[in-house]
């Protein structure tokens, strides 16, 4: 590596680190539900990141990992396969470094996400079949001599799971003054599996008794693989409507051995839970947050039935305004046969008097 390239590399890493230093830690919102006394729920609000989602952390880690491996240079074209949020964050960092970026996204990706990628200077390559995003991204990287960031392979290794201000370390630090400072459960979803791998490893490394639950869309392979390791992919046509989590194949970054439990959540249940929680905290949330919340309610009911107390932490993954044309659009829900309203009504009865009528 010549002197000019080394100088550019050092400056690129410094810019990303400076961005992290400027960014405040995301809030941990406490939610007390009257039906579950002694079981506070905490929402880690990842929508507060500069690019509006949990994937900001992943994108930062992927860029630093690629830079330190010298896979990225001052002229490198960057390419990613994504359902939207990771690509939004990667486009942000690509623009920061003055590098071109292409996102390979499924045709079903919500329009506001596509617009956000373009806002940060990224270009869009659309594929009709979500299963084609991997091969298409790899092909484009070969044809252009670019670099495929490949979140699905590198998510579990790019983040320092021992600490260094990862999401797990942040959660435990923010709970330090709470009555249940060590959570009984942490609940998250899995798209790449990287967040679950980071949290699960951190829990074991720090020797906490906390257990990790991964909430997974019913139309995903992850919970099937967790139950039976021989299941690694779903047949064509099997898919979830919940963007950002759930996959048709087991991704390389999904590490089932660090997970204590998985809960499968139907799309209607995710949307219903999203609606209820959106009303409860007074702003729109996304479908994956609904998936997490539905799983949390399952665990809370079980704990309450056993007379247990303790805290639960889950992730508020992104801003619901990204789904104004989908999950928060009655016409879209009807077109796709998702009756989230009935699920919301059922959950509303469970949570009374906490939820609005």
For residue 228, what are its two tokens?
């039976």
**In 180-235, which residue ranges form alpha helices assigned H by DSSP?**
194-205, 222-227
* 33-54 residue pLDDT tens: 999 999 999 999 999 999 999 9
Q: Of all helices (H) and strands (E), which one includes residue 31?
A: strand 28-31
Q: What are phi and psi of 332, to 5 degrees?
A: -65, -45
- Quote the pLDDT of residue 172: 97
Least Cα distance to 315 among 26, 73, 45 occurs for 45
Q: Are strands 147-148 and 261-265 parallel, antiparallel or unpaired?
A: unpaired
* 133-161 residue pLDDT tens: 999 999 999 999 999 999 999 999 999 89
> What does the DSSP assignment read for 267-326?
HHHHHHHHHHHHHHHTS-B-HHHHHHHHHHHHHHHHHHHTT----EEEEE-BBGGGGTTT
* 110-123 residue pLDDT tens: 899 999 999 999 99
Whether the pLDDT of residue 357 is over 60: the answer is no
Judge contact between 40 and 31, C-beta under 8 A: yes
């Amino acid at each position: 590596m010549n002197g000019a390239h080394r100088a550019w590399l050092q400056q690129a890493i410094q810019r990303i680190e400076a961005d992290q230093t400027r960014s405040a830690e995301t809030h941990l919102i406490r939610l007390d539900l009257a039906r579950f006394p002694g079981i506070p729920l905490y929402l880690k609000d990842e929508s507060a990141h500069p690019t509006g989602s949990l994937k900001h952390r992943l994108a930062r880690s992927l860029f630093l990992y690629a830079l330190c491996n010298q896979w990225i240079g001052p002229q490198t074209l960057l390419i990613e396969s994504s359902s939207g949020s990771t690509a939004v964050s990667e486009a942000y960092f690509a623009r920061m470094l003055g590098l071109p970026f292409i996102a390979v996204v499924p045709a079903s990706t919500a329009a506001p996400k596509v617009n956000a990628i373009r806002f940060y200077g990224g270009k869009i390559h659309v594929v009709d079949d979500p299963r084609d995003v991997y091969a298409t991204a790899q092909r484009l990287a070969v044809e252009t001599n670019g670099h495929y960031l490949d979140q699905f392979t590198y998510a579990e290794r790019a983040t320092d799971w021992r600490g260094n201000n990862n999401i797990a370390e942040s959660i435990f630090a923010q709970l330090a003054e709470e009555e249940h400072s060590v959570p009984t459960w942490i609940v998250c979803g899995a798209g790449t599996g990287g967040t679950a791998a980071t949290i699960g490893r951190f829990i074991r490394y720090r020797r906490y008794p906390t257990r990790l639950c991964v909430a997974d869309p019913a139309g995903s392979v992850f919970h099937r693989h967790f139950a039976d390791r021989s299941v690694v992919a779903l047949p064509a046509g099997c898919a979830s409507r919940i963007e950002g989590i759930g996959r048709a194949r087991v991704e390389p970054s999904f590490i089932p051995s660090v997970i204590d439990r998985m809960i499968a959540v139907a799309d209607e249940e995710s949307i219903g839970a999203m609606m209820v929680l959106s009303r409860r905290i007074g702003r729109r949330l996304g479908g994956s947050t609904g998936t997490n919340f539905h799983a949390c309610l399952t665990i809370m009911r079980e704990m309450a039935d056993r007379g247990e107390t303790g805290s639960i932490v889950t992730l508020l993954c992104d801003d619901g305004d990204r789904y104004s044309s989908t999950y928060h659009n009655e016409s879209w829900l009807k077109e796709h046969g998702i009756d989230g309203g009935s699920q919301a009504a059922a959950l509303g009865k469970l949570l009374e008097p906490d939820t609005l009528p």
